[in-house]
Amino acid sequence: MAMEITRSDNTADSENGKTIHLSDNLNEYVDIISFNSYMGWYWGNTSGEWMNANWHIPYNKPVIVSEFGGSAPAGKHGDKSERWTEEFQAELYRCNLALFDRIDGLAGLSPWILVDFLSPRRQNFGLQDFFNRKGLVSSWGEKKQAFFVMQQYYRKKEAQFP
């Protein structure tokens, strides 16, 4: 089999502990280092120690956060510490973006996901109702608070890197 040399290769790794190590065995062979991060959603919260984590990325390569986020049904409101609310989702985005901004070589990131979508495996009644609710926008086109957090972040980056 011939090696494909016309496109970039990458692999995803995940975080572990107070220092985040990107240590996948393939990282030395790929062109881009990437990882998915659900800190504060699948484990921890928005006031956890992970918010002050350090990054250890022993490669001189661009880094892309390939997925991050948390769920909130559009219109569900509460305290920013209450999971499944737009306020929690927005705070989760703020915390993750601050953490990602400390990555040397950060070349991009991708929230998971832009728009909520049907997902038969998401059966948490009253919260998911067969939808993946991690979107920045509801499946009916309603922009959630996290949408505006990302909009502000991208505008800041645009001004920083004209």
With a CB cutoff of 8 Å and minimum separation 6, the contacts of 35 are: 12, 13, 14, 15, 22, 65, 66
Asked if residues 92 and 99 have their Cβ atoms less than 8 Å apart, the reply is no
pLDDT by residue (tens digit) across 72-84? 999 999 999 999 9
**Beta-strand runs (E) in 39-154:** 54-56, 63-68, 106-109, 117-118, 131-132
Q: What is the DSSP letter of 17?
A: S
**pLDDT in the model for residue 151:** 98
The CATH number linked to 21 is: 3.20.20.80
The pLDDT value recorded for residue 2 is 46
pLDDT of residue 72: 97
Per-residue pLDDT of 117-157, as tens digits, reads: 999 998 888 899 999 999 999 999 999 999 999 999 999 99
In a domain, 4, yes or no: no
Q: Which of 1-15, 58-72, 131-145 has the lowest mean pLDDT?
A: 1-15
63 belongs to a structural domain: yes
Longest Cα separation, the chain:
55
Span 19-30, mean pLDDT? 82
The domain tally of the chain equals 1
Distance CA(158)–CA(150), nearest Å, equals 12
Answer whether residue 121 is part of any domain. yes
